[in-house]
Chains A and B, each alone.
Chain A
C-alpha cells in the first residue's frame, strides 16, 4: 500500500462555550452479550431527504449487503440489508410512506461477497461503497444528507469523539482496531482532493488508534459539549461557504469501511452503549444496525414508564420497547418519562433539577449526576430571554437571529447568518436551555430543508 506521508498543520482548538450535562446511568466500560435479536429493520426515516424505491418484496430472502431500496432521485445510493434472512413485513404509515422494512434473520448472518481486489482508484472505491450499502455512512454538510457520489468535497471530517450526555466512548469501542481504522482511512482520504481531518478530544488523552493515524490531519478540540459535534469542528477548522460541500462520517463507520476492504463483506455491526438512569446495568454491546432492542432491555431496566431513545438524549429518536436501533446510532438511552405534573414545581428550591442558570439550588451540587426525565419543565412561550443560546453555541453565528430568519423564511438572511454551517444537532443545547421551550432543532431542520429546496 502506498500512503503519502504529508506534513500537515494540525489545529488545536479550545472552545469555551457549551454545556456538559451530567446524567445518571453512564455505561460501564464492559462488554455484555445478550440473546441475538431475531428481527431487524431498515428505516427509511433514518436517512434525510431520500425517496425510497423498494427492490424487495415481503417474504423475499436477502443476504447482508443486498439492496433493500434505493433513492428515487439518486439511484446509485442504495440502502442494504444489514443481515441475512427474509423480509417479514413492509410497514407503511400515512400516505403509504414506508416506515420500516422488517427482516426476520437467519440464525447465522450470511454475507454477500464483494470483490475488493480492484479498489485503488477513487471511482473504484466509490463504486464498491455504493454497491455494498456502506455509502450512506458518508454524509454531507450542508443539509446533513447522504453524500452525493458525484460531488467532490473540499474536505472530509471525522470526529473521533462524542461530547454529548452519556456518550459512547469511541476510544473504548475502537480498542485494538488500529489496522482496520487505518485501512478505512486510506480509502476515505482518496475520496477528496482536499484534506481529511481527524479531530481528537483535547479534554483527555485520546486513544492511539486516532493519534497514530496516517494520511490525515489530526486536530485537537477541547471544551464542553458540543465540542465533539463535527459541525462545530468544521466551523472552526474549515468553515463551509455557499457552494461548498464537506463530507463527514463517524469512527465506527470507518471501521465498517475498513472491514469491507479487508474481508469483502458489508458488516453493519458496531459497538453500542446502553445507558440512562432506567437501565439496571448500563454497559456496552456489539450490535448490528437495525437490531430489535427488545432482548437488550429484557430484565435490564427498572420498573416504571420509560422513554427509549435510539441515539443520545439530545438528538436521538424515540423508539418503542420493540423498536430498532437506528442506522447511524451507536447509543441507546433509557430515561424515565416525565408525564407527571409537579405541584408548584417552578417555585421549589429544586436541588434535583438541572439548569444552566443558577435559578435552582442544584448549583450547590456541581458534581452531581442528575436523573432527568422527559418533562418539558414548562410551557412554550414567545422569545423573552436573550443571550442563552449564545452561551451554548460555540460558533461565530447569531443563533436567535438565524432562528428568526428561518421562521420568516428569509432566504437571503438565512444565508447571511450561516445556515450552510449549521445542523440541528449543533443547536440541540440551545433547545435544551431554552426558557421559552422552542423546538429549535426542528426549526433549524426546516431551514435546511428550505435551502435544499431553494438550491435544487
Chain B
C-alpha cells in the first residue's frame, strides 16, 4: 500500500490546482479515494462519525448480488446444455456461462463509468459510487444473448437520461438500471422478449427457450407448464430468463445480506411481496386467463418479481423516502407488477414497468405523508 501511496503522491500535483491535468482532478480523486479512505477530519459538528460511507453501502449491495451473479453464470451454461443437448459437467456449465456473462459486465462497467467520469470532469464534481451497483444490475437484467453494442447504448441512455440530466447520483427520478432495460425493451423488442433470447444460441435447433411468463402469456396452460418446470426448478432457478432473475434462492440470500446489514429497506421488500401476492390471489379468484389462474405464490417466483422487489424497488433514491410511504410504494409495485403481467400479454414482464411507474409516484406518496405530519402539527397549535 506504501507503493500506491507514493505513486499517488507523485502524480497528485499534476491534478491539483495549477497542475497540467487540473481538469481531470475528479477522475484522480475517484481513484485516490477508491484506494484510500481520505484523511479528511471532522471540523464543526460531530467530532466522530459512523464508519459507513457510500462506498461501503454500495459494496454491500454488490456482495448481496454475488449469489445471483454466480448462479446466473452457471444457469447460462446449464440452459445451454439442455437446449443444445450437449452433455456438460457442472464446471463446464459454469465456465461456459462465465465467459458469456463476463463481457456483459465489462461493457456495462466500462461504458457506464466512462460516462460517469466524463460528467464528473465536465462538471467538476466528484465521481459518485452509484454506478458501482447500477453497473452490475444492468447485465443481470439482460438476456444472455443481448448484443454488446445494444448493451452499451442502453447503458449510455440510462446514465445520461436516467441520471446525469437530473444532476447525478441522488437526484434521479427513475431507477437507472431499469431505465437501461426499459430502453432496450422498447427500442429492440425482439431482443428482449419472445422465446429466442433467453438461452444462449436457443434459435439454433428450434428449441423453445421461452420464459415461463412468456409461455403463460401465450396462453399455455399452467398445468402443462408445471409438468415441464417443477416448483424446485423455479425456487432454485434452473429456468430460462434474464441472467440474474431466475433463482429465488440466490435472491433470498442477497435479500438477507441487504436486510441484515441494514442497507436495504425491509419495508419495501415485504410490502412488495404482500402487494404481489394480494393481487395475484384476487386474480386467482377471478381466473379469466392463464396468467390469472397461475397460483399466487408461483407469480412471486417467476419472472423478475423477486429480483425487482429486492434489488430494484429498494433503490433509496427513487423509492419513497418516508417510512410509511415505503409500505405504500412497495405494495403498489407488487399490485401493478401482477396487474400488468396479467392484463397485457405483450408485457409479460410487468415488474420493470411497475417499478418505473412507482418511481414516478414515489414523490407524490411522500408529499401526502409529509403533509399529514404538517397538518397534525398545525392542528395541535390551534387547539
Contacts and interface: CB of A to CB of B under 8 A. Distances in A.
Interface in A415-445: 416-418, 428, 431-437, 439-442
B149 interface: no
A344 B5 CA distance: 11
Contacts of A435: 50, 52-54, 57
B183 to A, nearest CB: 23
Contact of A416 (B39, B56, B317, B377): B377
B265 interface: yes
Interface in B23-73: 33, 35-57, 59-60
B253 to A, nearest CB: 16
Nearest to B63: A359
Interface in A189-245: 239, 241-243
Interface in B132-166: none
Contacts of B129: 381
B49 A439 contact: no
A359 B381 contact: no
Given A381-B169, A385-B57, A342 B50 contact: no
A347 B55 CA distance: 8
B128 interface: yes
A428 B37 contact: no
Nearest to B375: A416
Given A384-B317, A398-B373, A400-B321, A21 B37 contact: no
A115 to B, nearest CB: 43
A241 B378 CA distance: 8
Interface in A364-378: 372-378
A432 B46 contact: yes
Contact of B53 (A379, A382, A397): A379
Nearest to A381: B54
A353 B316 CA distance: 24
A418 B377 contact: yes
B260 interface: yes
Contacts of A98: none
Contacts of B47: 307, 309, 313-314, 316, 318, 333, 335, 374
B263 interface: yes
A437 B373 contact: no
A300 interface: no
Nearest to A401: B370
A245 to B, nearest CB: 14
A247 interface: no
Contact of A342 (B37, B126, B169, B322): B37
B36 A343 contact: yes
Nearest to B265: A387
Contacts of B46: 313-315, 428, 431-432, 441
Contacts of B168: 382
Given A307-B47, A314-B46, A417-B374, A345 B60 contact: no
A359 B36 contact: no
B50 A356 contact: yes
Most buried by A among B37, B46, B171, B374: B46
A377 B376 CA distance: 38
A172 interface: no
A440 B45 contact: yes
B39 A340 contact: yes
A10 interface: no
A31 interface: no
A386 B315 CA distance: 9
Most buried by B among A242, A318, A340, A376: A376
Contacts of A318: 43, 47
A432 B50 contact: yes
Contacts of A441: 44-46
Q: Which applies to chain B's interface (DSSP): helix, strand, loop or mixed? A: loop
Nearest to A341: B36
A374 B54 contact: no
A412 B54 CA distance: 32
Contacts of B4: 343
A176 interface: no
B105 to A, nearest CB: 19
Nearest to B167: A382
A386 B268 CA distance: 12
B194 interface: no
A452 B376 CA distance: 23
B258 to A, nearest CB: 10
B170 A355 contact: no
B50 A377 contact: yes
Contact of A341 (B37, B45, B381): B37
A33 interface: no
B300 interface: no
Contacts of B52: 355-357, 359-360, 377-378, 433, 435
B269 interface: no
Contact of A375 (B1, B41, B169): B41
B377 A342 contact: no
A383 interface: yes
B206 interface: no
B50 A433 contact: yes
Interface of B: 1, 4-5, 33, 35-57, 59-60, 126, 128-130, 167-171, 260-263, 265, 316-317, 319, 321-323, 326, 366, 370, 373-374, 376-378, 380-381
26 contacts: A313-B47, A313-B48, A342-B36, A343-B35, A343-B36, A354-B50, A357-B57, A374-B41, A374-B47, A377-B53, A378-B53, A378-B55, A378-B56, A381-B54, A381-B128, A384-B54, A387-B326, A397-B373, A401-B370, A428-B45, A428-B46, A433-B50, A434-B50, A435-B54, A437-B53, A439-B44
Interface of A: 21, 23, 165, 239, 241-243, 307, 309, 313-316, 318, 333, 335, 337-347, 350, 353-360, 362, 372-379, 381-387, 390, 396-398, 400-401, 413, 416-418, 428, 431-437, 439-442
Given A341-B37, A378-B53, 16 more contacts: A313-B47, A318-B43, A333-B47, A340-B39, A373-B48, A376-B41, A377-B50, A378-B37, A379-B126, A381-B126, A384-B316, A387-B323, A387-B326, A416-B373, A418-B377, A439-B45
